[in-house]
């Protein structure tokens, strides 16, 4: 799945890659403007700053959040990013050589990580355009997230404030609440265009 996160402001090459991805497949790119450093930093807060954590990004795009995660993650940690668009994946690997960029579909997350001998992660941070997915797709990807984070990991994603009255946005919030015991919505980041907030989720709900 491609990213809902756009390139960091000021990066002309990143902006070109983002526009290229939109032209190739506009239905999979949910953003229309660069994600702010404030929003990216808020998402990156769930990346552990100590120990040897494993942090995975879904739909990193051209790396607005990737940059903040790389700044925060502990030096001994491992940072992986799953990006569906091949050109954006290549760009991200060039611009962030310390990140293990995987060109693949987030719906196959456990399989992609297993190929790299990763079965458990400490945090998953998503920039996927959830409002563009049907409920079955949302549940399938979140199921993959739950499988790799387990009972101790954390999940973070974001949503645009103005979309909350839209049925697909309300449906995604309900799906999060079905999936996790703890779903916290942060304050709105007004210095993002458009304004956005984060969902911080922990402790998957047990299912029969």
pLDDT at 206 over 80: no
- Mean pLDDT for 131-153 is 94
- Contact present, 30 and 129 (Cβ < 8 Å): yes
pTM recorded for the entire structure? 0.85
Q: Would the CA dihedral through 63, 55, 194, 106 be positive or negative?
A: positive
pLDDT band at residue 28, thresholds of 50, 70 and 90? very low
Q: Bigger pLDDT: 11 or 191?
A: 191
pLDDT at 196 over 90: yes
The model's pLDDT over 64-123, given as tens digits with 9 standing for 90+, comes to 999 999 999 999 999 999 999 999 999 999 999 999 999 999 999 999 999 999 999 999
CB-count exposure of residue 152 (10 Å: 0-12, 13-18, 19+): exposed
pLDDT band at residue 124, thresholds of 50, 70 and 90? very high
pLDDT at 15 over 80: no
Domains and CATH numbers, the chain: 12-204 (3.40.50.150)
- Contact present, 43 and 35 (Cβ < 8 Å): no
The model's pLDDT over 73-82, given as tens digits with 9 standing for 90+, comes to 999 999 999 9
Q: Is 38 helix (H, G, I), strand (E, B) or coil?
A: helix
How high is the mean pLDDT of the chain?
A: 86
């Amino acid at each position: 799945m491609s990213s809902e996160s756009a390139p960091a402001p000021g990066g002309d090459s990143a902006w070109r890659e983002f526009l290229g991805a939109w032209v190739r497949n506009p239905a999979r790119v949910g953003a229309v403007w660069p994600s702010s450093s404030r929003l990216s930093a808020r998402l990156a807060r769930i990346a552990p700053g100590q120990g040897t954590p494993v942090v995975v990004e879904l739909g990193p795009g051209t790396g607005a959040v990737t940059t903040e995660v790389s700044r925060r993650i502990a030096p001994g940690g491992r940072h992986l990013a799953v990006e569906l668009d091949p050109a954006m994946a290549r760009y991200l690997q060039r611009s962030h050589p310390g990140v293990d960029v995987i060109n693949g579909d987030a719906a196959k997350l456990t399989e992609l990580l297993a190929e790299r001998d990763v079965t458990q992660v400490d945090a998953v941070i998503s920039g996927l355009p959830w409002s563009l997915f049907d409920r079955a797709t949302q549940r399938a990807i979140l199921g993959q997230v739950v499988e790799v984070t387990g009972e101790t990991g954390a999940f973070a994603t974001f949503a645009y404030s103005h979309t909350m009255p839209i049925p697909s946005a309300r449906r995604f919030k309900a799906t999060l609440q079905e999936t996790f015991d703890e779903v916290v919505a942060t304050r709105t980041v007004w210095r993002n265009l458009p304004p956005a907030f984060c969902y911080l989720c922990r402790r998957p709900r047990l299912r029969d």
